[in-house]
Structure 1
Amino acid sequence: MTTGRDVLELSPVLPVVVLDRAEDAVPVAESLLAGGIRAIELTLRTPVALEAIARVAAEVPGIVVGAGTVTRPEHARQAADAGASFLVTPGATDSVLDGAFATGLPFLPGAATVSEAMRLAERGLDTLKFFPAEASGGAPALSAIAGPLPDLRFCPTGGITPASAPRYLALPNVGCVGGTWLTPKDALAARDYARIEALAKEASTLER
C-alpha cells in the first residue's frame, strides 16, 4: 500500500477505534477481519494507542492498521515506529503535514471546507478525510465539492451511521467512510467480539 487511494479501497467502512486496553487490540482486529473488514484506524486518543498499533501490526497481518487522531508531527513518527501502515489527521497544519510526509506513509489529512481541500491539493494530496462529516454538511456538502474539485476523493468521518453511510458511499468522490459504530463502547467494555464481528459483516457488504 503506497497511497491514500489504496487505503480507501480496502473496505467500504474504515473502523475508527478508541481502545482503553492494549490487550483488546488483537481480538478486536481479528473480529473485524473475520467480518470482512481489511483495515483499522486506531486513534491516538488513549495512552495505550501506540502499543495497540504495535500489537496489531505484529499479530494480525491480514488487517492494515493505521493511526488516527494524528495532531502533532511527533505523533506521525511515533505511529510509524509502532508499525502503522497509514496515518489519519483530523485537520492539517503545516507542521502536521510535514511530519506525516516525513514518515513516507500514506495519509489522509482532514479537511472540512473547499479552501482546506484546495490547500491540501496544492501540496500534492488528492485523498482526504472529510471531517467532521455530518457537522460540515454531510453527503450534500461532499456532492457539491465534487463539482469544482473532481480529482479529489474522500473518506468522510464524524457522525456517520449505518443508515447514513450508503448516502456517502453513493457519491463518486467517496471511497469509504470512517465509522465508530463497528466497535461500540459497550461492546469493547464487555469484550463482546462476536458483536463486533457481526457489525463488521454488515459493514463489509455496503455497496460503493
Structure 2
Amino acid sequence: MLSAKEVMNVSKIIPVISVNETKNMLQLAEALIEGGVNIFEITLRTPNALKVIEAVVKEFPDAITGAGTVMSPDSFKAVSDIGAKFAISPGLTPALAKAADGGSISLLPGVATASEIMSGIEYGFDAFKLYPATIVGGVDALKAFGGPFKDIVFCPTGGINADNAKSFLNLDNVPCVGGSWIVPNQLVDYEKFYEVTRLTKEALELLE
C-alpha cells in the first residue's frame, strides 16, 4: 500500500482525467507514460469510470492508477476493489475518513481552510489536496499553511496550468500539482494522443 505522501512523490504532475470510453483512456494512458507521467487520477465523473479504471489497472500494472471524485465509503470501496492504488476526494466527511482508515489504499482528501486541515489531521491525515486551489488562496494560502502545518504536504488542484504550476511547486509543502491541462478533452475526443505526449514532455521540462 502506497501512502498518500508516496503517491504525491511519484510525479510532479498528477493528471486529472475524465474519460468515459475505455479505448480512449488506454490510449491516453499510453501517451502520458510516453511523455513521462505514469500516474493517473481518473475521476468518477463519467458513467463508465469504474470500468475505465479497472481496464487501466489491468493494462498498465506498473502505473499508479487512482480514482478521483471519491466522495462516499461505497465509492471508496468500489475503487479499492477494482485495483486502484489511491483515491482522491474534493473534501472529507467522517464516514469517508472511517472508510479510509480501514481501507487497503490511501486517500488524499481535499481541504480549503485551516479548520479542514486540522480536522483531517485529527483523522490521521498528513497529506491533502488543496481544492479549488486558485480560488481558495493559491500560493499565498499554501505559504500561510506552511507555518502552523509545517509537516503537512499539499497537492493543489483546481485552476493549475502551465503558467502557474511552477509557482506552486516551488513551495516546500507542495511535492506535486493536479491538473487537466496536459489531458484536454478536445485532444482525447479527436484522438490526438501524440499532442498529449508533447504537452506532457513540455510540462515536465518546464517544471524541472
Is TM more than 0.5 here?
yes
Native 8 Å contact 2:20 2:52 kept in 1: no
Q: After TM superposition, give the deviation of residue 96 of structure 1 in Å.
A: 1.5
SS at match of 1:129: strand
Look up the match of 1:42: 42
Native 8 Å contact 2:165 2:177 kept in 1: yes
Which structure 1 residue ranges, 5 or more long, are not aligned? none
> After TM superposition, where is structure 1 displaced by more than 4 Å over at least 4 residues in a row?
none
Q: After TM superposition, give the deviation of residue 101 of structure 1 in Å.
A: 2.5
Q: After TM superposition, give the deviation of residue 63 of structure 1 in Å.
A: 1.6
Aligned alpha-carbon RMSD (Å) = 1.2
Identity %: 39
Native 8 Å contact 1:12 1:206 kept in 2: no
Look up the match of 2:58: 58
Q: After TM superposition, give the deviation of residue 206 of structure 1 in Å.
A: 4.2
Aligned residues: 208
Superposition pairs of residues 1-208 of structure 1, within 5 angstroms:
1-207=1-207
Q: How far does the alpha carbon of each residue in 1:39-75 deviate from its partner, in whole angstroms, 9 at most, with x for none?
A: 0000000111101111110001232100000011100
* TM-score, structure 1 as length reference: 0.96
Which structure 2 residue ranges, 5 or more long, are not aligned? none
Q: Distance in 1 between matches of 2:19 and 2:134?
A: 23
Q: Distance in 2 between matches of 1:74 and 1:87?
A: 12
SS at match of 1:109: strand
Q: Distance in 1 between matches of 2:21 and 2:195?
A: 18
Q: Distance in 1 between matches of 2:14 and 2:95?
A: 25
Native 8 Å contact 2:67 2:88 kept in 1: yes
Q: After TM superposition, give the deviation of residue 12 of structure 1 in Å.
A: 0.5
Native 8 Å contact 2:130 2:156 kept in 1: yes
* TM-score, structure 2 as length reference: 0.96
